[in-house]
Chain A
Amino acid sequence: MLSEFRNATGASEKVGLGCLADSQFDCEKAIDDFFTSGMADQAGSRGGRRAAEALYRRYKEPDEDHIGVDGVQKFCEDLGVEPADIVMLVISYHMGAAVMCEYSREEFVSGLVKLGAETLTRLRSKLPELRASLAKADTFRAVYAFAYDFSREKGQKCVQLDSAVGMWRLLLESPHAGPNAWSLVDDWVAFLEARHSNRAIAKDTWQQLLDFIKSVKPDFSNFDENSAWPYLLDEFVEHMREKRAVGTST
């Protein structure tokens, strides 16, 4: 039982015995306690990477060398956040995750080390800071850019409209986005649903939207049709102007 515990946690014999004793020798409970209580911190403080590796082993798919959907789910539960919480996107960004709902060993371990949060408690205590970082323009821009590739399905060049809309809502309507939030997300989404027939969002359009939000006023008064905005944005502005003109004339 002790070796099982140590395998899972990478903790020393002494720590293992202590934990097992505390949990009345229920090995699984002992492991949970080890990670979710402060115990891992004490163990981890001696070798950050080892602690992170231990955490990785906790979530990885039993037969494959990566963390899958179930692992991510459990990871979220341990952290006490919803998988759809924006902070998970930020964490994934720091890990440099290539695909949604999946972390490779390297991504997960290096990501945690980079964050300086190799244990759950430390990571948990870091969550508010991570959320707050979104209010900064350059972090937001980086996470926004990351989100495109992250949302792409395997083998696809473009993000499908539905995923893109989900991401936009997550990012641009997040209470943590601060000055990076956009008040026209509903209009934009409604416009795309109604008018955008091929339903794929090109990376260029994705990227340009953020510049558009930053530089074009919500009343579009400084929008220049002859500039290089992607045509979807041209049409969006046209659509909105028409809509608003109708709104004011009646």
Chain B
Amino acid sequence: MADRKPIELAEGWSFMEKGIQKLIRLLEGEPEDQFNAEQYMHLYTTIYNMCTQKPPHDYSEQLYSKYRDAFNKYINEKVLPSLREHRDEVLLKELYQRWGNHKLMVRWLSRFFNYLDRYYVLRHSLHPLKDVGLLCFKDLVYVEIKKRTKDGVLLLVEKEREGELVDRALVKNILGIFIELGMSNMDCYEKDFEEYLLTETSAFYRRKASQWIEQDSCPDYMLKAEECLRLEEERVDNYLHATTRNKLLKEVETELLSNYETRLLTKEHSGCAALLRDDKTEDLARMYRLFQRIPKGLDPVADIFKEHVDSEGMKLVKEVTEAVELAKEKQAKTGPSRDTGTSAEQQYVRAVIDLHDKYLQYVSTCFCNSSLFHKSLKEAFENFVNKSVAGSTSAELMASFCDNLLKKGGSEKLSDEAIEETLEKVVKLLAYVSDKDMFAEFYRKKLSRRLLQDKSASDDHERSLLSRLKQQCGAQFTSKMEGMVTDLQLAKEKQQHFDDWLKEKGSKLPIDLSVTVLTTGFWPTYKSIDVALPREMVEGVEVYRSYYDSDSKHRKLTWIYTLGTAVLRGNFDSKPIEMQMNTLQAALCMLLNDVDELSYGEIQERLRLPDDDLQRLLHSLVCAKYKIIKKDPDGKSIGKSDKFAFNNRFTDKMRRIKIPLPPLDEKKKVMEDVDKDRRYAIDAAIVRIMKSRKVLQHQTLVMEVIQQLQRMFKPDLKLIKKRIEDLIQREYLERDKDNPTLFKYLA
């Protein structure tokens, strides 16, 4: 090798240039043979030799720059002029082809000059040959035509947005150039294309949105918006880079959704409220899908939903209140009519259940069970359900509704499953009622009547409702009610026991006596009227008392005659009739057994009843449907100077009749009981809290009290204040001497 003469630069380069010329002709599609292996070897070897000759004949540096010059020359002579001729789509096509050629050229030339890469480039930390090739294109071609290219692409994108078919592959290829020229980062794509695309997109949809919002209804607008978003996503898949997806969609969402949300949602005849009103569930679901895309986009939808549900609820409240008032007016005119059982109040609870079903369905289907919408539903119901309906609280109405479901002959004729389902729903509604204690009190009152008057239709339903209540409101809530049900079961056993005991003793009572022993505390408080019973009854009472004392010690038996029933046989002139009546009514009737006539005063003396009770009693037997007793003088009301006698001419087509004693108005008493219980509950809560905290700010104390009690009821702030003052008075608490808003617990 040593004897070989070094190759001079000019000589070597003119050989290389021929190779390059041949390559260019090939690229330009001119007739030329492909390189064969020998030619290629020769070219490579030439470079190798020129780079490995001893200085001053090492031409690495010169060759490296000539390598670059070769690209520049080709680009300046051929590529740029051909690109300058074209615009738009043609330009894009030409560019794509030129780019392909260029890459080919880079591949070949970098192979010819490969030896530079191996040694010279490495040692001087220069750009590798391939990069030099790409950089030449970037510096000369790209810099010049990037704007026109970008415009061309955007034009195609806009055409496609307007519905034209475009050469998606071309767009994708062109964008590929932007990405490749970034040389492993996305700068070119992002700065020279994406940025403009986003601006353009935003402008495009701003134009569209401003038209659509004027001309389209809310559902139509949403359809378009959803379609646009779908198409944009497709566009990303088709030819944009995946990183563009979120940015692009965000622009579209901002223009189509965020900017017009309020206008869209409140469109006069097709906005969110209108969709709710017209039950457009599909559109509502679309609304949810769209607005969940933008931050806080659902909040206004949820607000409108809440408002709508609330107003629907308030509408019910108003309708029912009006209906009840109307009925009352009518009744006042035509006199009392038979209660049909399906009063407006009953329908109200049913309607509230239906309303809840409906909108719960909305939440789960249209609004994807989103917690935001569950909250709206809850708040709306909590608002209107706690409004008073025709002078009653919903707690009371719901208790009556349950009673109607559970009692024999209630107006709701439902299958067992339907009853169970309805009960479950009522209990669900109860969660929205803040006065749960009020419900409990009314429910207990109704339950006691069902149990004692044997009116409960099904033990299973009773128990299932109790277990549902227990699950939702806690064991404390139902413990009394459960005690009542259990009492009644025990009472049956006890009665059997008593009958056995009687038999054993060989004694027989003048009347059939059955006693139901109730546990004080479980049951509502009843007024115990100390009536003087007829002889026959007194004997029964005495015998039972002695049985009870023998059976259980240390228990006090109190008789509540007002709850008792008796069956009397009335020997009327035409036929005997069995009459079922209240124990008090029976006591009154039996007074008239032995005498022809008694005056009001005499009756009162014998029964030892206060006036109001006696009046009510007499009225039920003298002036009501069944006139078992006649009075002198005849009349509609009971006077204190009237005289009374057994009406032996009474008759009825039935052989057995039931003579009702109208119950006292219990509502007021229930409310009073609830109020009293609340006072105790608040006192207990305050003392409990103060006992553990010792010293507490007024406001903290009030908040904690509310928190402790809200499961049962919503305590009135004024009431809490009064209770605190009462406890100060009773020296459980005192104010701090220096800070009167601070309370101290006095142990």
Contact = CB atoms under 8 A, between A and B. Distances in A.
Interface of A: 157-158, 202-205, 207-208, 211, 226-228, 230-231, 234
28 contacts: A157-B729, A158-B729, A202-B728, A202-B729, A203-B729, A204-B725, A204-B728, A205-B725, A208-B740, A211-B740, A226-B699, A227-B698, A227-B699, A227-B741, A228-B698, A228-B699, A228-B724, A228-B740, A228-B741, A228-B743, A230-B721, A230-B725, A231-B718, A231-B721, A231-B722, A231-B725, A234-B718, A234-B721
B735 interface: yes
A153 to B, nearest CB: 16
Nearest to B739: A228
A228 B703 CA distance: 13
Contacts of A203: 729
Contacts of B741: 227-228
B721 A202 contact: no
Interface string B708-725: 000000000010011011
Given A227-B741, A231-B722, A204 B735 contact: yes
A226 B721 CA distance: 10
Contacts of A226: 699
Nearest to B727: A204
Nearest to B722: A231
Nearest to B735: A204
A152 to B, nearest CB: 13
A203 B729 CA distance: 7
Given A204-B728, A207-B735, 13 more contacts: A157-B729, A158-B729, A202-B728, A203-B729, A204-B729, A204-B735, A208-B740, A227-B699, A228-B698, A228-B724, A228-B740, A230-B725, A231-B721
Contacts of A205: 725
Contacts of B729: 157-158, 202-204
Interface in B723-747: 724-725, 728-729, 735, 740-741, 743
Nearest to B701: A228
A234 B743 CA distance: 18
Contacts of B722: 231
A157 B730 CA distance: 9
A157 B728 CA distance: 12
A206 B741 CA distance: 15
B698 A202 contact: no
Nearest to B729: A202
Contacts of A234: 718, 721
A79 B725 CA distance: 41
A230 to B, nearest CB: 6
A204 B735 CA distance: 8
A131 to B, nearest CB: 28
Interface of B: 698-699, 718, 721-722, 724-725, 728-729, 735, 740-741, 743
In the A-B complex, list the 9 residue pairs whose CB atoms are closest, starting with the nearest. Answer: A228-B698, A228-B741, A231-B721, A204-B728, A202-B729, A231-B722, A231-B718, A230-B725, A204-B725
A234 B702 CA distance: 15
A157 B741 CA distance: 23
B702 to A, nearest CB: 8
Contacts of B725: 202, 204-205, 230-231
Nearest to B721: A231
A172 to B, nearest CB: 19
A210 B721 CA distance: 19
A231 B743 CA distance: 16
Nearest to B730: A157
Contacts of A208: 735, 740
A204 B727 CA distance: 10
B689 to A, nearest CB: 15
Contacts of A211: 740
Most buried by B among A157, A158, A227, A228: A228
Contacts of A202: 725, 728-729
Nearest to B723: A231
Contacts of B721: 230-231, 234
Contacts of A158: 729
A46 B5 CA distance: 149
Contacts of B728: 202, 204
A248 to B, nearest CB: 26
A13 to B, nearest CB: 54
B293 to A, nearest CB: 41
Nearest to A235: B718
A234 B724 CA distance: 14
A83 B725 CA distance: 34
A211 B739 CA distance: 10
A202 B730 CA distance: 10
* Residue of B698, B724, B728 with most chain A CB atoms under a 10 A cut-off: B728
Contacts of A204: 725, 728-729, 735
Nearest to B724: A228
Among the interface residues B698, B725, B741, B743, which one has the most CB atoms of the partner chain A within 10 A? B725
Nearest to B702: A226
A207 B740 CA distance: 10
Contacts of A207: 735
A227 B698 CA distance: 7
A228 B734 CA distance: 12
A235 to B, nearest CB: 8
B307 to A, nearest CB: 28
A202 B727 CA distance: 11
Nearest to B742: A228
Contacts of A231: 718, 721-722, 725
Interface centre among A205, A230, A231, A234 (most CB of B within 10 A): A231
Contacts of B718: 231, 234
A228 B724 CA distance: 10
Contacts of A228: 698-699, 724, 735, 740-741, 743
Contacts of B724: 228
A231 to B, nearest CB: 4
Most B CB within 10 A of own CB, among A157, A158, A204, A208: A204
A232 to B, nearest CB: 9
Nearest to A200: B729
A90 B235 CA distance: 94
A241 to B, nearest CB: 16
B682 to A, nearest CB: 13
Nearest to B726: A202
A234 B699 CA distance: 15
Nearest to A212: B740
Nearest to A225: B717
A123 B447 CA distance: 75
A203 B740 CA distance: 13
